[in-house]
Structure 1
Amino acid sequence: MNAVSIDFPDYTADHSRYAKCIEVSKRVRWEIDRDVIRDRQFDFDNKFLPDGLSLLDRSILENSDERRLMSQIQGRSYANIFGLVERFINAKVLELSQDHWLGDQVALEALIRFSDEELKHQELFRRIETMIAAAMPAGYRSAADPNAVAQVVLGKSTWAVLGLTCHIELFTQAHYRQSIEPDASLSALYKDVFLFHWREESQHAILDELEWRRIDAQLSPAERDAAVDDLIALVGAVDGILQAQARADADYFSLIVPRSRTVAEHDLLAERDLLAAETLAAYRWQYIVSGVQEPRFQKILGDLVTPAQMQRIGTALAPLMA
């Protein structure tokens, strides 16, 4: 009887990078109450977001108290939008883990740990929203439902979802290192939220790249070209969320900050429109432009697409980058 020959996949290429993510994940592991919140409350005498993200150093708001309040409103939305995007990220990571069920068990463990951490991050951001809501006036609203957004995003190709995810988790690194960490004027608790978030997102960004390249290697040129269109559509969908949230946040500011009755109605509306416009510019910087300009993202995307496809992406993004 002839022996049966079985060809096993070669897992050596990226095995060590998956293993490194597991090692670091274990080392930086944190808990919400024990390490982040630690029986503290948010300090509303301080800003939440630094000017490098909120862009409030160039705001139409001239009063420092009003700028601080707007940084807190923006900071609230910044945290909520992270909680929103992590809903679809976790669903996609769990889906991708199936490819490793009967394969590289180290890659499988890395993705399962990724999923566990994303669930924890969602809980963290829900806790943060509850704490902030208890200390701020009523009337704030989130402009998008996480499950509805996830359904739209997960309807696109896996290549495009991984591209968007990689972009998001890379800009979290840049935001913390370049803007949040150096700013001593921020609320200490708010700053710690993104310190601990950053520590685990560092591994997630590596796993995003590994999985994105793995999926890319399976695509035909035509499938990849269609996936590029999906990625462009997803960025457009993100911008739609940002437009709605910027308007909601400008309306909330106008609701809770009284203006003199001597100010004409058309002047109040003009101020609200200007505030919404500059808030949208800040949100586009935070959630689109800073990620697109991140050198590591540019390198990965450039490795995966043709020059013509890269130009197509650039043309589509140009109005948002202005």
Structure 2
Amino acid sequence: MTAMIQAQAVDRYARCIEVSKRVRWDIDKDVIRDRDFDFGKTFIPDGLSRVDRLDFLNTDDKRLYSHIQGRTYANMFGLVERFICAKILELSRDHFLGDQVALEALVRFSDEELKHQELFRRIEQMIARRMPEGYRFLPQPNEVALVVLGKSTWAVLGLTLHIELFTQAHYRQSIDPQQHIDPLYKDVFLYHWKEESQHAILDELEWVREDARLTDDEREQAVTDLIDLVVAVDGILQAQAAADADYFQQLAPRHNDEENARIAEAFLDAYRWQFIVSGVLEPRFAGVLTRLITAEQGQRINAALAPLMA
């Protein structure tokens, strides 16, 4: 990197530290505040759950649907933050004896991701106490992390930026505007969003830094790795959508076979939208990715995404 670009990067790392200090929050004091979830209210908003496609569901069914999806939505963030934290800690080693501003920014990033994992573990415990038995969250965080971390750093950082950008978009566009959803559930993602904002900046900085070290052949393999990771994420979503549809049908067994099939399709469609498509459509993600790859590599990625985007 040129001296000007390096100076700009240092300034962006420093601003992330400043924001980290300013928005720092505590799970009990700021988020939970001795509250519990109100199961008379919706958890995840319709814009994310896409429940409006299931016009045969009554009000109680729609609320149950949102509770199941909301539980999985929170658990998915606890899952991905396991590998994100591990990768960021690994990257911080590059700065141990170098840029101490970048090092502090990444250490703070890792610390916040550990806190987020604890938050989502707490949320799962709180929801589990109130919902009937039978819910299963299938992917195991350590197993998923081992698979993800086996891919190139370039691909992991691309996936991570994608995740942290759609997290922000979901909160701003779907969760924040809603007044009828459960206040505690809404606050979980308000405080999560506050710290994810600077994480995305650090993801981009580290992704560009990693890209500058790659040869053309290494970048070609990294693109393959990124495609493989998206396929793996979709596999997780397919399995979890099927499990959640089964759980919904156990708790609301009055639907016929055609309706149950539509419910199962709706769970998968919603999860693909939430965890893949909405991130791909984020202009900032597309802009960074386009700068780093060739047109031919972009075509490979688009071809892999096409069935999911449909």
Alignment of 1:118-267 (within 5 A): 118-259=113-254, 267=256
* Distance change >3 Å, CA 137–CA 15, structure 1 → 2: same
Aligned residues of 2:17 and 2:108 also touching (Cα < 8 A): yes
> Which amino acid is 2:121 matched to?
R
Deviation at 1:207, TM superposition (A): 0.2
How does the TM-score come out when normalised to structure 1? 0.93
Which residue identity does 1:200 align to in structure 2? E
Deviation string, structure 1 residues 167-197 (Cα, Å, up to 9, x no partner): 0000011000000000111000000000000
RMSD of aligned Cα (Å): 1.3
Superimposed CA distance per residue, residues 71-127 of structure 1 (whole angstroms, 9 cap, x where no aligned partner): 110000000000000000000000000000010000000000000000000000000
Question: Is the radius of gyration larger for structure 1 or structure 2?
Answer: 1
- TM-score under structure 2 normalisation? 0.97
| Paired residue secondary structure (1:185) | coil
Deviations 1:22-63 (A, max 9, x none): 000000000000000000000111111111100001115420
Mapped to 2, the partners of 1:320 and 1:59 lie a distance apart of: 20
Task: Give the gaps of 5 or more residues in structure 1.
Answer: 1-7
Say if 2:278 is the partner of 1:290. Answer: yes
Offset of residue 275 of structure 1? 1.0
Is the counterpart of residue 37 in structure 1 residue 32 in structure 2? yes
For 1:127 and 1:60, how far apart are their aligned partners in 2?
33
Displaced runs of 4 or more, over 6 A:
none
Specify the SS of the correspondent of 1:140.
Answer: coil
**SS across alignment from 1:36:** helix
Task: Kindly indicate whether the alpha-carbon contact (under 8 Å) linking 1:54 and 1:71 is maintained by their aligned counterparts in 2.
Answer: yes
Q: Does residue 1:275 correspond to 2:275, yes or no?
A: no
CA distance in 2, matches of 1:92, 1:177: 27
Within the alignment, does 1:313 sit opposite 2:301 as a pair? yes
Q: Give the conservation status (yes or no) of the 8 Å contact 2:54–2:262.
A: no
Aligned length: 307
CA distance in 2, matches of 1:317, 1:60: 28
* Corresponding residue for residue 47 of structure 2: 52
Asked if structure 2 preserves the Cα contact closer than 8 Å seen for 1:60 and 1:274, the reply is no
Contact 1:160 1:231 in 2 (8 A): yes
Residue type at the aligned position of 2:305: L
Amino acid at match of 2:45: P
Shift of 1:11: 4.7
**C-alpha separation between the residues in 2 aligned to 1:60 and 1:96?**
48
Query: Partner residue of 2:101?
Result: 106
Instruction: Give the distance between the partners of 2:253 and 2:202, measured in 1 at CA.
Output: 47
* Residue aligned with 2:208, SS: helix
Is the contact made by 2:10 and 2:102 (CA closer than 8 Å) also made in structure 1? Answer: yes
Identity over aligned residues, as a percent?
Answer: 69
Whether the 8 Å CA contact 2:68–2:244 is kept in 1: the answer is yes
Letter in 2 for 1:130: Q
- Greater CA drift, 300-309 or 56-65: 56-65
